[in-house]
Amino acid sequence: MRHLVGPIGLVVLQSTAFCNIDCRYCYLPNRSDRRQTMDLATVGRAAQLIFASPHLKDELDVVWHAGEPLTVPPEYYSAAIEIIDEAKPDGLAIHYGFQTNGTLIDEAWIDLFERHSINIGVSLDGPRDLHDANRKYRNGQGSFDRAMAGVERLRARGYPFHVISVLTAQSLHRARDLVEFYWRLGPTSIGLNVEEVEAQNRHSSLYDADGGAAFDRFVAELLSEAAAQDTPIEIRDFARTMSWVVAGKPEDNDLVVPLRIVNVAWNGDLSTFCPELLALTGADGRRFVFGNVRDCRALTDILEDERFVSAAAEIWRGVARCEQQCQYFRVCGGGAPVNKLSETGRLDSTETNFCRLTKKTWVDACLQLASTADSRFELTRSM
Amino acid sequence: MTQNRRLVAGFTASGAVLCLTLSADGHGADQYIARGLEQSVPSRIESLREKLNAGFPQSGSGAGEEQIQNIVQFFNFSNCKPTSAKKC
């Protein structure tokens, strides 16, 4: 894994660091600063560097994230997409995406989504009480009503979207409520993130909850409820874990291979590995910015930056330790560096709470279900 | 007659859906909680791969002519995928 570089599969562009809401568990340090917006010249320079790279494949995901992208007007993205599309090499298929809190979605936004077939993920933590407990405006008001209004506009136009839910300790007794809520909305997929200790968020209610047994129970209940629904909807975490189990290799862990993910901050700062590393400052004050689009002659310049060399060596030491110590390594590939750093202060550590909740629990659940005598795999063209 | 239960287990490169189908009987949440600690995780993974291959014997990759699309990002947001592949 030490010798792997790329291919580039995902570019995360931070069009703005600002967010119009202020979630309790958010990791972004500058989310109240409206001034931190990526100018179009930076978009163009980032596109030039990426498209000139020898590490491109024939498909690329470009996601606007790490701040609320919809606080920048649709015209900005029309212009940005035009710049990117004009610069892209022939034969490269680009899939654009937004991860949004949904509160600002209106007809003009959906027009833009439709024009460019943009993949939309809406962050929605479940029924009102669960959602509003953490996803609040700065005046303390919950964002549920406005997020749901955005979702209803998508539904009215028949525009597909997936949802991502952040689970907290409060969610763990509400598996049935969550399944009923999400199934009513009809998303294409449901992602279940966990409240993480990460950057600005220094505490997780989930990490305290019952040593993981309560989370195991929650996943079991959720899968049981989901399987009983008439219409199957993808639960991202089950499907991707099953995909890892069925077809995964350790080297598939994009978070520990340079340039699989390229992260561009609003000011052109460049990073790789986990996108959240852009926002993180280590306990020793070090940052994980490995260059800037204005200073790099080629994207691979960041691989020679001293900060990269040091971080990569530490990450790979951690991966090697995971391989030696963890029997889940085959379907994990060495974990998530940003969570190792946030939980242990080091990039070369091994198991984290994040590992237990997002990897081990799901692998165990997949293996359990698939090993029952009456379970079987089926392949269908449609559901 | 009760209907079988299904969970979406993955997608193939051509957009087909791989489901794990479970009998309608006897699947309360208790039966979804992981057991099998007597076997190591790697050997349980091997058993699962064998079970999949047994169901789709035409190919070593698990699903007949269909290569399972290995979606491996650890990410906290779902990656962009062609919308067609997400429509079940």
According to DSSP H, which parts of chain A are helical? 40-51, 74-87, 107-116, 128-134, 144-157, 175-185, 205-208, 213-227, 236-247, 306-325, 337-344, 353-355, 361-371
pLDDT single digits (tens) A359-374 = 999 999 999 888 887 8
Per-residue pLDDT tens, chain B, 88 aa: give them.
Answer: 557 789 998 887 777 888 898 877 655 666 666 555 568 899 999 888 888 877 765 444 445 456 666 665 666 667 666 444 443 3
Nearest chain B residue (CA) to A328:
B41
Q: Out of A2-6, A143-147, A179-183, B77-81, pick the least confident.
A: B77-81
Helix H or strand E encompassing A121: strand A119-123
- With pLDDT > 70 as the criterion, what percentage of chain A qualifies? 98
Nearest to A223 among B7, B23, B74 (CB): B7
pLDDT value at residue B23:
78
What angle do helix axes A74-87 and A107-116 make, rounded to 10 degrees?
A: 10
Across the interface, whether the CB atoms of A372 and B47 are under 8 A apart is answered: no
pLDDT at A192 over 60: yes
Residue of A117, A245, A246 to mutate, interface with B, max B Cβ within 10 Å: A246
What angle do helix axes A144-157 and A107-116 make, rounded to 10 degrees?
A: 50
Residues of A in Cβ contact (< 8 Å) with B82: 95
pLDDT single digits (tens) A162-174 = 999 999 999 999 9
Q: Give the sheet arrangement for strand A162-167, strand by strand.
A: A234-235, A189-194, A162-167, A119-123, A93-100, A56-64, A8-13, A261-264, A269-272, A291-292
From B84's Cα to the closest Cα of chain A, the distance in A is: 10
Torsion over CA: A342, A343, A344, A350 (sign)? negative
From A156's Cα to the closest Cα of chain B, the distance in A is: 17
pLDDT at A205 over 70: yes
pLDDT single digits (tens) A39-49 = 999 999 999 99
Residue-by-residue DSSP string for A291-324: EETTT-SSGGGGGGSHHHHHHHHHHHHHHHHHHH
**In the structure, what pLDDT confidence band is assigned to residue A322 with cuts at 50, 70 and 90?**
very high
Across the interface, whether the CB atoms of B10 and A243 are under 8 A apart is answered: yes
Across the interface, whether the CB atoms of A255 and B22 are under 8 A apart is answered: no
pLDDT value at residue A259:
97
pLDDT single digits (tens) A275-297 = 999 988 888 888 999 999 999 99
pLDDT value at residue A99:
95
Residue A172 DSSP symbol? G
For residue A60, the cross-strand partners are A94
Across the interface, whether the CB atoms of B68 and A10 are under 8 A apart is answered: no
From B52's Cα to the closest Cα of chain A, the distance in A is: 6
Residue B2 burial (C-beta neighbours within 10 Å; 0-12, 13-18, 19+): exposed
The answer to whether A316 and A339 are in contact (CB under 8 A) is no
For residue B13, the cross-strand partners are none
Q: CB B23: neighbour CB atoms within 10 A?
A: 14
Across the interface, whether the CB atoms of A242 and B9 are under 8 A apart is answered: yes
pLDDT single digits (tens) A336-345 = 999 999 999 9
Torsion over CA: A143, A159, A82, B69 (sign)? positive
pLDDT value at residue B88:
30
Nearest chain B residue (CA) to A275:
B75
Residue of A81 and A280 predicted with greater confidence: A81
Nearest to A330 among B10, B42, B76 (CB): B42
Torsion over CA: A131, A134, A136, A142 (sign)? positive
Compute the mean pLDDT over every residue in chain A, rounded to the nearest whole number: 94
Across the interface, whether the CB atoms of A246 and B19 are under 8 A apart is answered: no
The answer to whether the complex's ipTM is over 0.85 is no
Token pair 């220094």 is found at A202
From A272's Cα to the closest Cα of chain B, the distance in A is: 13
Cα–Cα distance list, A273 to A267, A372, A383 (Å): 18, 37, 35
How far is residue A253's CA from residue A260's CA, in Å, rounded to a whole number?
A: 9
CB pairs under 8 A between A and B: 242
Across the interface, whether the CB atoms of B77 and A358 are under 8 A apart is answered: no
pLDDT at A155 over 50: yes
pLDDT at A333 over 80: yes
How far is residue A174's CA from residue A184's CA, in Å, rounded to a whole number?
A: 16
pLDDT single digits (tens) A97-140 = 999 999 999 999 999 999 999 999 999 999 999 999 999 999 99
Across the interface, whether the CB atoms of A63 and B30 are under 8 A apart is answered: no
- With pLDDT > 90 as the criterion, what percentage of chain A qualifies? 82
Residues of A in Cβ contact (< 8 Å) with B36: 367-368, 371
Residues of B in Cβ contact (< 8 Å) with A247: 61-62, 67-70
Residues of A in Cβ contact (< 8 Å) with B42: 327, 330
Q: CB B1: neighbour CB atoms within 10 A?
A: 3
Q: Out of A69-73, A148-152, B77-81, pick the least confident.
A: B77-81
In chain B, residues 3-42 whose CB comes closer than 8 Å to chain A: 3, 5-12, 16-23, 25-36, 40-42
